[in-house]
Chains A and B, each alone.
Chain A
Amino acid sequence: MTDLSMPQTRTQSAMGKIALRWLLYVLLGLFALYYLMPLFVMLTTSLKSLEEIRTGSLMSLPREVSLDAWKTAWSGACTGIQCEGLRPYFWNSVLIAVPAVAISTLLGALNGYVVAQWRFKGANIIFSLMLFGCFIPFQVVLLPMARLLGIMGIAGTIPGLIFVHVIYGLGFTTLFFRNYYVTIPAELTKAARVDGAGFLRIFWSIFLPLSLPIIVVTVIWQFTQIWNDFLFGVSFSQAGTQPVTVALNNIVNSTTGVKEYNVDMAAAIIAGLPTLLVYVVAGKYFIRGLTAGSVKG
């Protein structure tokens, strides 16, 4: 009896396994569609004419592909009274992000190197205090910062925004480099000191060459944070110095003229493109930064 029933149950369980496998892939596929749907809708909407948007369906492919909305979004859409498209604001974001990322990464590397390798009395407390700074809701510093920028004469300017992003990025960049440099044995520093190398020499010749992976993680993290920032951008900029996220929001909420959904969608894709590109090219490092920011140690 048992001999006879064995092969049957085996095929049954094998069939069950295949069915489960199929179910698994169908589920994964459905979730993939869920995540891709908004991007698909944005892209197809941006390629349609307004006429087609009004008469057609949300999910349908464009009958006629038109790049007009992209042109308008880039150089003609109105953000309030001005109608220059996203272009000037896109460059504002570049002008803010590049120096802010460079400065905060460099300072983070030096700070992390000190905290991890040159432990002096109180270094741990200093690091803890800097770490807490990462977690404050920025609302709590908005008012005094607005006044300080005014006193310094850089309110509403791009240097002002660079300054703000460097200051509030320091905690995270220090954390990233510190966690990377603690894994390098302290004997290395000791041996180099015995050989007569100083603080900066050791950093420059030993630590910096080892740092490429963590530099990539930090640069990507900082770039994504600063490019996507809205709170500082909207609080500390004025007409003409707004970053791209603020300009995008203004275009979408602009009440002048007809609502051009295709232009809104093209503008949204343009604003999201740089960070999306970074993610596609260096996703591995992006994820490492995300998880390093939440799971420390």
Chain B
Amino acid sequence: MSEWLENHLPKVVLAPSFIAVLIFVYGFIGWTAWVSLTRSKLLPKYEIKGFIQYERLFDSPRWDTAINNLYIFGALFIVIAMVLGLLLAILLDQKIRVEGAIRTIYLYPMALSMIVTGTAWKWILNPGLGIEAMVQGWGFPNFEFDWLVNPDYAIYTIVLAAIWQSSGFVMALFLAGLRSVDGEIIKAAQVDGIPTWRIYTAIIIPSMAPIFLSAFIVLAHLAIKSFDLVIALTGGGPGYATDMPATYMYAMAFSRGDIGQAASSAMIMMLVVFAIVVPYLYSELRAKND
């Protein structure tokens, strides 16, 4: 008995966690997928009715707004955070004397909760007393900056706050990448008299392709899941102008009592995440096993 236990102990130790993941990740995904095919409203029903929830979802103007917002937010957030992160990393990589301190300052927002970030930016961007009032006070009485309460522009305030929160992290990724580029090649290029900007565009940046990919995956993942920041900054408003898939799902699940819609929107979110993450993880795991 004790010998059997000793031989199988590794499996016995791993089993509870593995079973937990099987149930609470894969089993639950299955449950949500199942319910997304039913007519569940306030309570789940288990009788499959086809893709009716998905049809309702794609007919819903609110979901349409949420998806559009995800496109706008995702594209701007990913591109600007990557460009800014790369720029900061390159600037910091010039043998700066106080690099440690500056890095700490650039990265600290990442330690904060999105709710804290949202609360801070909500105050800064509020038209009555925030930036708008401040610039007007400087002697520009016609200055207008009401994005937070303007349905056409509110989504950009979320981009602004999200970039503030995450660009330092992208910088850290790129900085690690810059430091791992082979110094000999750079030295050889310098000896040949190649200008610095050419060394960056022709040698260093292309060699960091895997880091661009990692940064993209992480940022895309953050964008699709963004929920806290929207809630704290705009609450999805004005109206539902800044709704995103995650806030739509939450509203359906916990305030509208429409479980079928909640399940189908959650499934779409998961499919989008998997479309991005699965090829990446697959190639990572394969590369490691080779």
Interface residues of A (CB under 8 A from B): 24-25, 27-28, 31-32, 34-39, 41-42, 45, 53-54, 57-59, 107, 110-111, 114-115, 118, 120, 123-124, 126, 128-133, 135-147, 167-168, 170-171, 174, 198-200, 224, 227-228, 230-231, 234-235, 245, 248-249, 252-253, 261, 264-265, 267-269, 271-272, 275-276, 278-280, 283, 286-287, 290-291, 293-297
Bound complex: CA of A167 vs CA of B124, how far in Å? Answer: 37
Bound complex: CA of A37 vs CA of B114, how far in Å? Answer: 16
Chain B positions within 8 Å of A59 at CB level: 134
How many interface residues does B have (CB within 8 Å)? 97
CB pair A140 B120 closer than 8 Å: no
11 contacts between A and B (CB under 8 A): A42-B120, A58-B129, A59-B134, A107-B16, A114-B14, A141-B32, A143-B32, A145-B28, A271-B116, A294-B217, A297-B287
Q: 1/0 contact trace for B181-225 toward A, CB 8 Å?
A: 000000000000000000000000000000100110110010011
Would you list the 3 A-B pairs with minimal beta carbon distance, nearest first? A228-B113, A279-B111, A118-B10
CB pair B9 A170 closer than 8 Å: no
CB proximity of B178 to chain A, nearest CB, Å:
13
CB pair B111 A38 closer than 8 Å: no
Chain A positions within 8 Å of B225 at CB level: 137-139
Main secondary structure of the interface of A (DSSP, over half): helix
Bound complex: CA of A54 vs CA of B126, how far in Å? Answer: 12
Q: 1/0 contact trace for B13-37 toward A, CB 8 Å?
A: 1101110111011111101100100
Answer whether A58 and B133 are a contact pair too, CB < 8 Å, given A136-B29, A140-B267, A230-B114: yes
CB pair B231 A249 closer than 8 Å: yes
B121 contacts A by Cβ under 8 Å: yes
Chain B positions within 8 Å of A296 at CB level: 284
Answer whether A141 and B111 are a contact pair too, CB < 8 Å, given A58-B129, A295-B173: no
Can you add 14 more A-B contacts, CB < 8 Å, to A120-B10, A129-B21?
A24-B96, A38-B120, A129-B22, A130-B21, A133-B21, A133-B26, A137-B270, A245-B113, A261-B123, A279-B108, A294-B215, A294-B218, A296-B284, A297-B284
Candidate in A128, A137, A147, A287 with the most chain B CB atoms within 10 angstroms? A137
Chain A positions within 8 Å of B274 at CB level: 135
Chain A positions within 8 Å of B106 at CB level: 31-32, 35
Answer whether A230 and B113 are a contact pair too, CB < 8 Å, given A111-B17, A137-B269, A249-B231: yes
Bound complex: CA of A141 vs CA of B96, how far in Å? Answer: 46
Interface residues of B (CB under 8 A from A): 6, 9-11, 13-14, 16-18, 20-22, 24-29, 31-32, 35, 44, 88, 91-92, 94, 96, 102, 104-117, 119-124, 129-131, 133-134, 137, 164, 168-169, 172-173, 176, 211, 214-215, 217-218, 221, 224-225, 227-228, 231-232, 235, 245-246, 249-250, 253-254, 259, 262-263, 265-267, 269-270, 273-274, 277-278, 281, 284-285, 287-289
CB proximity of A176 to chain B, nearest CB, Å:
14
CB pair A140 B10 closer than 8 Å: no
Chain A positions within 8 Å of B224 at CB level: 137
CB pair A135 B273 closer than 8 Å: yes
Q: Which of chain A's residues has its CB closest to B30's CB?
A: A144
CB proximity of B226 to chain A, nearest CB, Å:
10
Answer whether A58 and B10 are a contact pair too, CB < 8 Å, given A275-B111, A278-B111, A287-B107: no
CB pair B14 A111 closer than 8 Å: yes
Chain A positions within 8 Å of B176 at CB level: 291, 295
CB pair A276 B277 closer than 8 Å: no
CB pair B262 A228 closer than 8 Å: no
CB pair B288 A297 closer than 8 Å: yes
CB proximity of A88 to chain B, nearest CB, Å:
17
- Name the contact of B112 in the complex, choosing from A136, A142, A228 (C-beta under 8 A): A228
Q: Which of chain B's residues has its CB closest to A59's CB?
A: B134
Candidate in B13, B113, B274 with the most chain A CB atoms within 10 angstroms? B113
Answer whether A143 and B263 are a contact pair too, CB < 8 Å, given A38-B124, A200-B9, A230-B113: yes
Q: Which of chain A's residues has its CB closest to B35's CB?
A: A143
Bound complex: CA of A272 vs CA of B25, how far in Å? Answer: 30
CB pair A136 B227 closer than 8 Å: no
CB proximity of A107 to chain B, nearest CB, Å:
6
CB pair A230 B227 closer than 8 Å: yes
CB proximity of B210 to chain A, nearest CB, Å:
8
CB pair A130 B18 closer than 8 Å: yes
- Name the contact of A272 in the complex, choosing from B29, B112, B131, B284 (C-beta under 8 A): B112
Chain A positions within 8 Å of B28 at CB level: 140-141, 144-145
Chain B positions within 8 Å of A167 at CB level: 20-21, 24
Answer whether A264 and B119 are a contact pair too, CB < 8 Å, given A24-B91, A120-B11: yes
CB proximity of A90 to chain B, nearest CB, Å:
13
Chain B positions within 8 Å of A200 at CB level: 9
CB pair A295 B13 closer than 8 Å: no
Chain B positions within 8 Å of A137 at CB level: 224-225, 246, 266, 269-270, 273
- Name the contact of A276 in the complex, choosing from B111, B173, B254 (C-beta under 8 A): B111
CB pair A290 B169 closer than 8 Å: yes
Answer whether A143 and B266 are a contact pair too, CB < 8 Å, given A111-B14, A252-B232, A291-B173: yes
Q: Which of chain A's residues has its CB closest to B285's CB?
A: A128
CB pair B111 A143 closer than 8 Å: no
Chain B positions within 8 Å of A132 at CB level: 25, 278, 281
Q: Which of chain A's residues has its CB closest to B161's CB?
A: A38
Bound complex: CA of A41 vs CA of B104, how far in Å? Answer: 19
